[in-house]
C-alpha cells in the first residue's frame, strides 16, 4: 500500500505534465457534458480562458451547436466512442475553425469521464480548398494518381474532356483512360516516375492518345509531376487535348504541300507553253496550207483533214485555257490591281473547276453584259473557283442531268453582281453563320480544310465588296458576290495590238530569239513572208547584233538561261538603243517579280505563249510600217 501511495502522486504529476504539453486540445468532461478540465492547447485553440469554460457544457460555451452536440451524444450511446470525426467549431472571436474530434470514455478517480481531443486542421483545409480551386480552374484535365495506379482525384475539366462523372473515375485504374496499345508503356513510365520522382523532369509533355467514355480516342499531351505525402507518392497528371493543335498542324502541312504544288504547277505551266506554242502554230500553219492546196472547192479528203486539224486545234485551245488558268491561279507575286471583265475571269475559273462539275450538274452561264471591276485576276479567279467547287461538292455524283449550277452576272447600280446557284444539299441554318470562319467546313474529312470561303471573304472584302449566302436544306444554295464597278476613268485606251494588220507593208528582216528551237522554227513558218533568222540564246542574238547584223524586228523570249530577254534589252539599251523599240517579247509566263516589273516598265509589245498568230503578225507588220 505504501509503495502504491508513493508512486501515485508521481504518476499523477506525469499525467498532468503530459496533459498540459500535448499539442492536441484536450477537454475532460462528465458524462452529462459538463467540462471539468482543459489543457493549455484548448485555451490557445479556442481563445477562451479556463474560467469561461470550466463548469459549462460545450454548447453553453458556444463551441459546438446544440444539434451537433446531441448528435455526438447519440453516437456515444450507440458506439461508446467517436473516432476522428471532422466538424467545424466556433472560437471566442466568432471565427469558425475545422477540427478533427475524437471522444473516448475513461475511468478516472473511480468515476467515468469523457476525454475529448481536438486537432486543428484549419490550415490544412484552407490549403486543400486552395488546391481544389486551383485544380478546378485549370484549363487542362488534372488527374491525381496513387502509387498503385488508381485515380485519387480529378477536376471538372477531366469530366468534360473524357465524358465521365467523377464518381466513375475515382478509385479506378488510370488505364481506364488509356487505349490498350499505350497501357504497358504508360505503366512502365509511371512506375519509374514514382520510384525516382526527383530524377524525373518536371512538366515534360508526352503526346499520346487518350480514351473517352464513348470509346473514341483524342490526341493529348500529358505532363507528370510528383506529389509526395506521408503515405504515398502521388503523380499529378496534366492532360491537354491537342486535337485542335493537331488539326492546325495538319492544315498547315497541307497548306505547305499546296504551296509546293502551286510552285510546281507554275513551273509546269511555263514548260507546257513552249511545246504548246509550236503545236498550235504548226496546226494553224497546216490548216492554212491545206486551204491553199484545196482552193475554192477542196476535195472531200482535204475537207476531212481540215476538220481533223480543227478538232486538234480545238483540243490544243482547251489545253491553252487550262494552262492559262493555272498560271493565273498560282501566281505568287504581290497583288496587282487591273481592269478585269467579270465574265472573262469567270471563264478562267470555270475551265479550272469544270472537272469537279461535269459529273454532278449541268453548268449554265447566264452573263448579262460585261461588268468590269478593278482587282487582281489571280485572286478573283481563286474566289470563283472556290464558289464553283463548293457548289459542285454540295451535289452528289451521278445525277448531272437532274442538278444545275447556274452562274449569273449583272450590273446593279454601281456594283457588279455574280451569283453561283446550286441545287445541292444546302447548309443547315445553325451553320450558316460560321461558313466564313477559318477552318470551319461542312465537308467530310479529307475533302476540305475550311479555308476556301474564309479566304474568299477576305479577298472580296479587300475589294470593297461583300459576299452573302442564302441556303435551304435539300433545295440548294446561292452565293452572291457584290464588287464595286470600275470607274469610267479607270478604263484604259484600246491598245494598238487590238487593230490587227492583215498584210505586211514590205518584206522585213526578223530575228527570232528563243531557247526552244521548235518554237523558233514554228515562228519562222508563221513569219514566212519575211527573212527570218533564229537563234537559241540571248547571247547569240547580242553577238549577231554587235557583229553588224541588222534586223527590222526582234521577236525575243523573255525568260531564257544564260541571258534573258530582259538582260538582252538592257545591253541593247546601252549599246544600240535604236534597236530596243523594235523588240517584241514572248513569254511562257513571267512569274518573277523582276519580269513583271520589266513588262510594266517597257512599252514594247508582249505576247504570252501560246500566242495568237494573227496578233503577232499584226505586231510585226505594225513595226515594219513605222520604219
Which pLDDT does position 590 carry in this prediction? 55
**Pair (98, 177) in one structural domain:** no
Whole-angstrom Cα distance, residue 581 to residue 566? Answer: 13
Cell of 333: 507575286
**Pair (411, 347) in one structural domain:** yes
Place of cell 505551266: 269
Please list the residues that pair with 103 across neighbouring strands. 82, 116
Cell of 342: 467579270
Q: Are 361 and 326 in contact (CB under 8 A)?
A: no
Which pLDDT does position 504 carry in this prediction? 58
**Pair (514, 536) in one structural domain:** yes
Domain assignment present for 11: no
Which pLDDT does position 2 carry in this prediction? 36
**Pair (31, 101) in one structural domain:** yes
Tell me how far the alpha carbon of residue 596 is from its chain's centroid. Answer: 32
Whole-angstrom Cα distance, residue 270 to residue 114? Answer: 100
Which pLDDT does position 266 carry in this prediction? 62
Which pLDDT does position 56 carry in this prediction? 92
Domain assignment present for 3: no
Whole-angstrom Cα distance, residue 29 to residue 56? Answer: 9
Whole-angstrom Cα distance, residue 125 to residue 289? Answer: 102
Domain assignment present for 322: no
Q: Are 392 and 476 in contact (CB under 8 A)?
A: no
What element of type H or E holds 117?
A: strand 111-120
Which pLDDT does position 5 carry in this prediction? 41
Closest C-alpha to 505, from 627, 626, 625: 625
Which pLDDT does position 259 carry in this prediction? 58
Which pLDDT does position 503 carry in this prediction? 56
CATH number assigned to the domain comprising residue 519 = 3.40.50.2300
CATH number assigned to the domain comprising residue 447 = 3.30.565.10
CATH number assigned to the domain comprising residue 23 = 3.30.450.20
Which pLDDT does position 250 carry in this prediction? 67
Q: Are 529 and 507 in contact (CB under 8 A)?
A: yes
Q: Are 128 and 136 in contact (CB under 8 A)?
A: no
From residue 51, alpha-carbon distances to 25, 56, 60, 576 in Å are 16, 10, 13, 120
Which pLDDT does position 441 carry in this prediction? 62
Cell of 259: 504551296
DSSP state of 376: -
Cell of 7: 508512486
Half-sphere exposure of 39 (CA within 13 A, CB side): 18
Which pLDDT does position 395 carry in this prediction? 92
Domain stop point among 489, 518, 534: 489
Q: Are 490 and 374 in contact (CB under 8 A)?
A: yes
Tell me how far the alpha carbon of residue 348 is from its chain's centroid. Answer: 28
Whole-angstrom Cα distance, residue 103 to residue 30? Answer: 12
Number of folded domains in the chain? 4
Whole-angstrom Cα distance, residue 134 to residue 136? Answer: 6
**Pair (391, 504) in one structural domain:** no
**Pair (399, 518) in one structural domain:** no
Q: Does the N-terminal peptide bond of residue 120 adopt cis geometry, omega within 30 degrees of 0?
A: no
Domain assignment present for 273: no
**Pair (347, 467) in one structural domain:** yes
Phi-psi region of 155 (alpha: psi -120 to 50; beta: other; left: phi over 0): beta
Domain assignment present for 22: yes
Domain stop point among 456, 489, 522: 489
Please list the residues that pair with 71 across neighbouring strands. none
**Pair (98, 165) in one structural domain:** no
**Pair (507, 602) in one structural domain:** yes
Which pLDDT does position 406 carry in this prediction? 95
**Pair (504, 612) in one structural domain:** yes
**Pair (144, 179) in one structural domain:** yes
Residues with Cβ < 8 Å from 356, sequence gap 6 or more?
388, 389, 392, 393
From residue 350, alpha-carbon distances to 343, 391, 399, 465 in Å are 10, 12, 20, 21
From residue 366, alpha-carbon distances to 347, 363, 417, 510, 572 in Å are 12, 10, 12, 45, 50
Whole-angstrom Cα distance, residue 564 to residue 539? Answer: 9
- The total of other beta-carbon atoms located within 10 Å of residue 410's CB is 15
Q: Are 435 and 442 in contact (CB under 8 A)?
A: yes
Closest C-alpha to 194, from 237, 158, 153: 237
From residue 13, alpha-carbon distances to 1, 30, 105, 495 in Å are 19, 21, 21, 120
Domain assignment present for 91: yes
Sheet holding 476-484, edge to edge: 362-367, 404-412, 415-422, 476-484, 466-472
Whole-angstrom Cα distance, residue 573 to residue 560? Answer: 18
Q: Are 372 and 414 in contact (CB under 8 A)?
A: no
Which pLDDT does position 449 carry in this prediction? 43
Q: Are 553 and 582 in contact (CB under 8 A)?
A: yes
Range of the domain at 195: 137-241
Domain stop point among 94, 120, 146: 120
- The total of other beta-carbon atoms located within 10 Å of residue 82's CB is 16
Tell me how far the alpha carbon of residue 570 is from its chain's centroid. Answer: 45
Cell of 410: 449583272
**DSSP per residue over 36-49, as a string?**
EEE-HHHHHHH---
**Pair (161, 91) in one structural domain:** no
Domain assignment present for 419: yes
Block means of pLDDT (10 residues each) for the chain, 627 residues, are 48 78 90 90 91 89 84 85 89 90 84 90 87 86 87 92 93 90 78 62 68 91 75 80 78 61 62 78 83 82 85 77 63 67 90 86 90 87 88 88 93 93 90 71 50 75 88 92 80 44 72 90 86 94 93 92 92 92 84 79 87 85 86
Whole-angstrom Cα distance, residue 565 to residue 553? Answer: 14
Strands of 248-359 (E only): list them. Answer: 338-341
Domain assignment present for 622: yes
Phi, psi angles (nearest 5°) of residue 376:
-95, 120
Phi, psi angles (nearest 5°) of residue 551:
-140, 145
Tell me how far the alpha carbon of residue 19 is from its chain's centroid. Answer: 70
Amino acid at each position: 500500500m505504501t509503495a502504491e501511495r508513493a508512486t501515485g502522486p508521481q504518476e499523477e504529476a506525469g499525467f498532468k505534465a503530459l496533459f498540459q504539453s500535448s499539442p492536441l486540445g484536450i477537454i475532460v468532461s462528465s458524462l452529462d457534458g459538463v467540462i471539468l478540465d482543459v489543457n493549455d492547447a484548448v485555451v490557445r485553440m479556442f481563445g477562451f480562458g479556463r474560467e469561461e469554460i470550466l463548469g459549462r457544457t460545450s454548447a453553453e460555451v458556444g463551441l459546438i451547436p446544440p444539434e451537433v452536440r446531441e448528435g455526438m451524444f447519440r453516437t456515444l450511446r450507440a458506439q461508446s466512442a467517436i473516432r476522428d470525426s471532422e466538424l467545424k467549431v466556433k472560437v471566442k472571436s466568432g471565427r469558425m475553425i475545422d477540427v478533427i474530434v475524437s471522444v473516448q470514455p475513461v475511468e478516472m478517480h473511480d468515476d467515468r469521464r469523457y476525454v475529448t481531443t481536438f486537432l486543428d486542421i484549419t490550415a490544412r483545409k484552407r490549403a486543400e480548398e486552395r488546391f481544389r480551386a486551383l485544380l478546378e480552374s485549370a484549363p487542362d484535365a488534372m488527374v491525381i494518381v496513387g502509387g498503385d495506379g488508381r485515380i485519387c482525384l480529378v477536376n471538372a475539366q477531366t469530366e468534360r474532356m473524357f465524358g465521365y462523372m467523377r464518381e466513375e473515375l475515382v478509385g479506378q485504374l488510370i488505364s481506364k483512360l488509356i487505349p490498350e496499345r499505350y497501357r504497358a508503356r504508360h505503366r512502365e513510365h509511371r512506375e519509374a516516375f514514382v520510384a525516382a520522382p526527383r530524377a524525373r523532369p518536371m512538366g515534360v509533355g508526352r503526346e499520346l492518345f487518350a480514351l473517352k467514355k464513348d470509346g473514341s480516342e483524342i490526341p493529348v499531351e500529358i505532363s507528370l509531376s510528383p506529389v509526395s505525402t506521408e503515405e504515398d507518392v502521388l503523380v499529378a497528371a496534366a492532360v491537354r487535348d491537342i486535337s485542335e493543335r493537331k488539326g492546325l498542324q495538319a492544315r498547315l502541312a497541307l497548306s505547305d504541300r499546296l504551296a509546293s504544288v502551286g510552285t510546281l504547277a507554275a513551273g509546269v505551266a511555263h514548260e507546257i507553253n513552249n511545246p504548246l506554242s509550236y503545236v498550235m502554230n504548226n496546226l494553224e500553219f497546216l490548216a492554212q496550207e491545206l486551204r491553199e492546196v484545196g482552193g475554192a472547192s477542196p476535195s472531200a479528203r482535204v475537207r476531212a483533214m481540215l476538220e481533223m486539224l480543227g478538232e486538234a486545234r480545238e483540243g490544243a485551245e482547251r489545253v491553252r485555257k487550262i494552262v492559262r488558268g493555272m498560271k493565273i491561279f498560282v501566281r505568287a507575286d504581290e497583288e496587282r490591281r487591273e481592269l478585269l471583265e467579270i465574265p472573262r475571269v469567270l471563264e478562267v475559273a470555270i475551265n479550272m473547276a469544270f472537272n469537279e462539275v461535269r459529273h454532278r450538274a449541268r453548268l449554265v452561264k447566264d452573263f448579262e453584259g460585261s461588268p468590269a471591276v478593278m482587282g487582281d485576276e489571280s485572286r478573283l479567279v481563286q474566289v470563283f473557283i472556290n464558289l464553283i467547287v463548293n457548289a459542285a461538292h454540295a451535289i452528289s455524283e451521278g445525277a448531272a442531268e437532274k442538278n444545275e449550277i447556274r452562274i449569273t452576272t449583272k450590273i446593279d447600280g454601281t456594283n457588279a453582281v455574280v451569283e453561283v446557284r446550286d441545287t445541292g444539299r444546302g447548309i443547315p441554318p445553325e451553320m450558316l453563320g460560321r461558313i466564313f470562319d477559318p477552318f470551319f467546313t461542312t465537308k467530310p474529312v479529307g475533302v476540305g480544310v475550311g479555308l476556301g470561303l474564309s479566304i474568299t471573304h477576305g479577298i472580296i472584302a479587300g475589294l470593297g465588296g461583300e459576299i452573302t449566302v442564302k441556303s435551304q436544306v435539300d433545295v440548294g444554295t446561292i452565293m452572291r458576290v457584290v464588287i464595286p464597278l470600275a470607274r469610267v476613268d479607270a478604263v484604259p485606251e484600246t491598245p494598238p495590238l487590238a487593230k490587227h494588220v492583215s498584210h505586211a507593208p514590205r518584206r522585213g528582216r526578223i530575228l527570232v530569239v528563243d531557247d526552244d528551237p521548235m518554237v523558233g522554227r514554228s515562228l519562222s513558218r508563221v513569219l514566212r513572208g519575211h527573212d527570218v533568222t533564229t537563234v537559241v540564246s540571248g547571247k547569240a542574238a547580242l553577238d549577231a547584233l554587235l557583229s553588224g547584223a541588222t534586223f527590222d524586228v526582234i521577236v525575243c523570249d523573255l525568260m531564257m538561261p544564260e541571258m534573258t530577254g530582259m538582260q538582252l534589252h538592257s545591253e541593247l539599251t546601252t549599246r544600240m538603243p535604236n534597236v530596243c523599240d523594235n523588240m517584241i517579247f514572248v513569254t511562257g509566263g513571267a512569274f518573277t517579280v523582276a519580269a513583271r516589273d520589266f513588262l510594266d516598265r517597257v512599252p514594247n509589245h508582249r505576247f504570252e505563249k501560246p500566242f495568237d498568230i494573227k496578233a503577232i503578225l499584226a505586231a510585226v507588220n505594225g513595226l515594219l510600217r513605222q520604219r
